[in-house]
Structure 1
Amino acid sequence: MQVVPRQGGELAVGGAAEQVTEAWLANRRLSEHTRAAYRRDVAAWLGWCAERGVEPLRASFLDVNAYARGLEARRLAPATVARKLSGLSSWYDFLVKLRAVDGNPVGGADRPNVSRDHSSTVGLSPDEVDALLRSAAENGPRSNAVMTILADLGLRVGELVGLDFGDLGWERGHRTVRFVGKGGKPRRRALTPGASEALDAYLGVRGDREGPLFMTASGARLDRHAVFRLIRRLAAEAGLPGADKLSPHSLRHAFATTARSEGVALEDVQDAMGHADPRTTRRYDRDRHNLDRDPAYMIAAARARRAGG
């Protein structure tokens, strides 16, 4: 694709800019949710440029800095600002490859410092997860199946709502579910007995055995927004604190924390969650700084056993 800037190197907010964005997204393995977020981020930047008379193809790192400070003034979390700038940087990298710009202005910009050890997601304790699942079971088969699979498998909400009935199967005695994970990577996980039982109860009342796995009453695919609303409503009914701040990701964090607390190896939790970097998995583990898990205790206990033997 050839990008031809408008007069003076200006890139139109529509037309060529939209074509560039779609070509850029087509060259990356991304979920549809991520694609939509990147489209919004680029559109927001182009809108900011238009309002200030900045030509996107001639923007400098000073312009990007001003844009970032404006985002921070809206009290967006540093991680959110960093994510928006990361997407914008990738967009400009694509323009560099197309030779539409000489350099990436985001590369020299002042990005927020985001600690890999911090997450803004509200977590849940094992007791709170149990209370949430009890509330889901009382709400009905679909709610129970959705929440149990999120809790037991730690799936991303996009992975859950993207499931089709045909993704269910069996492998070496394990009931499994296959899906496309982050980065377009095909993945499969084993369903726990509880998740399998909850799913069968839901499928028993749904009847239809084709199409989306989780459907609305009208037959449409259940979407991520409905799952967000569901978890907050169920949490409120269960009397959980901060129910209005919970998200499906809260159950993903709880999955990682509980798995590590139960002694599951970091690399196994990493594989289950589909993380490319183990540092990401560690960030999900809310209990990683618990002194009860200090390896010094295990070393001392092993030494005591040797001395006693």
Structure 2
Amino acid sequence: MNQNTLIGLPNIRLTSTCDLVAAGFLARYSGKTRESYQVSLRILWQWCNSVGLEVLDAKRPHLELFLRYLEEGRGNQPVTVAHHASIVKCFYRFAEIDGYMEKDPAAHLRVPRVYIDESKTLGLERAELGALIQTARASHPTDGALVALLGMMGLRVSEACAVQVEDYQLIERGHRVLKMVGKGGKPATMPIPVQVLRMLDAAAGDRASGPLLLRQSNGQAMNRKAAALAITRLCKKAGITQKITPHGLRHSYVTACLDAGVPLRDVQIAARHSDPRITARYDRARHNHDRHANHTLAAFLAGAA
């Protein structure tokens, strides 16, 4: 099978059954999700070719060996193996649903368990986030708008980079709002606080359309890499020693909302988390040291020690 068939949907040879199944599967997704799924399928295709196996002829033992190849042959970490495995399982599930296989060979596939250290999902504390916002605002209008969108609106970095000046000019129910398309192609409308609006207007200047965030070096639209470099630079300037990524500011946004007393359900809606358990993870993490059983035990034993 030609490896180039999985580079993009237009290049898939629909005369091949395997490629037709892949095309139908990938057509369900778009953007970064599709690109990520293409990578996983391409790796599966390459491995099957290397062992002389047709993708749709795979059995569970074959796929177990494929995961072992990811771990030992490619040196992937458990989180990466679990990521590829979840996509492979989804692919074969739809192959069975569409009638290309009698039985899903990945139904009982062993997937590595991935454990999340919830203490690492907190991001910046209130004082640190405030210092970063002040530093960004004083640095440059684009810096201020970037930090405001990430840390005060909770946008993902790709969403922030995609904001156009015209996207936040509408008024709904007395509020200026930002209209955008988020993860998974889901549309979202978000009210803009006055403090954030001022920073967005400063970044837009006299422009009435086009990308809101422009790189200071060349005036081109900001991308994920440029945003990450800007956040690193601003954190250093603000005296923040821990490593913070753009997504770390989204973490900071969620934690700050919870610390401000916003109900968990409202935070889930604001952050656009599809699963309330994701938001609850932040709620547990922000108090997991303060309410840890070790403190209670130490106090209990204090009189006897």
The alignment's TM-score, normalised by the length of structure 2, stands at 0.80
- Number of the residue aligned with 2:303: none
The AA in structure 1 aligned to 2:26 is L
Shift of 1:114: 3.0
- Number of the residue aligned with 2:186: 185
Shift of 1:274: 0.9
Match of 1:254 among 249, 252, 255: 252
- Number of the residue aligned with 2:300: none
Deviations along 1:126-182, one digit per CA (max 9) or x if unpaired, are: 222223223322431111101111100111122222222232121122111011222
The AA in structure 1 aligned to 2:264 is L
Please report the RMSD computed on the Cα atoms of aligned residues, expressed in angstroms. Answer: 2.7
Q: In the alignment, is the contact (CA less than 8 A) between 2:122 and 2:282 conserved in 1?
A: no
Q: In the alignment, is the contact (CA less than 8 A) between 1:154 and 1:252 conserved in 2?
A: yes
Structure 2 residues without counterparts, runs of 5 or longer: 6-12, 294-305
Deviations along 1:54-91, one digit per CA (max 9) or x if unpaired, are: 32111222232223233344564533332222122222
| C-alpha spacing 1:109/1:292, structure 2 compared with 1 (3 Å) | closer
| C-alpha spacing 1:125/1:54, structure 2 compared with 1 (3 Å) | farther
Q: In the alignment, is the contact (CA less than 8 A) between 1:119 and 1:283 conserved in 2?
A: no
Shift of 1:277: 1.5
Shift of 1:278: 0.8
Deviations along 1:108-135, one digit per CA (max 9) or x if unpaired, are: 2111223477486572222222232233
Paired residues, number: 278
- In the aligned structure 2, how far is the partner of 1:267 from the partner of 1:164? 29
Please state if 1:231 is matched with 2:240: no
What is the 5 A alignment of 1:139-288? 139-168=139-168, 169-204=170-205, 207-216=206-215, 218=218, 220-243=220-243, 246-285=244-283, 286-288=285-287
| C-alpha spacing 1:238/1:249, structure 2 compared with 1 (3 Å) | same
- In the aligned structure 2, how far is the partner of 1:195 from the partner of 1:118? 29
Secondary structure of 1:209 counterpart = coil
The AA in structure 2 aligned to 1:180 is V
Q: In the alignment, is the contact (CA less than 8 A) between 1:282 and 1:288 conserved in 2?
A: no
- Number of the residue aligned with 1:52: 51
- In the aligned structure 2, how far is the partner of 1:112 from the partner of 1:123? 26
Shift of 1:35: 1.5
Shift of 1:267: 0.2
- In the aligned structure 1, how far is the partner of 2:181 from the partner of 2:247? 17
Deviations along 1:13-60, one digit per CA (max 9) or x if unpaired, are: 3234555434323224x5x11111111111122122223333211122
The alignment's TM-score, normalised by the length of structure 1, stands at 0.79
| C-alpha spacing 1:290/1:230, structure 2 compared with 1 (3 Å) | same
Structure 1 residues without counterparts, runs of 5 or longer: 1-10, 295-309
- In the aligned structure 2, how far is the partner of 1:87 from the partner of 1:266? 30
- Number of the residue aligned with 1:70: 69
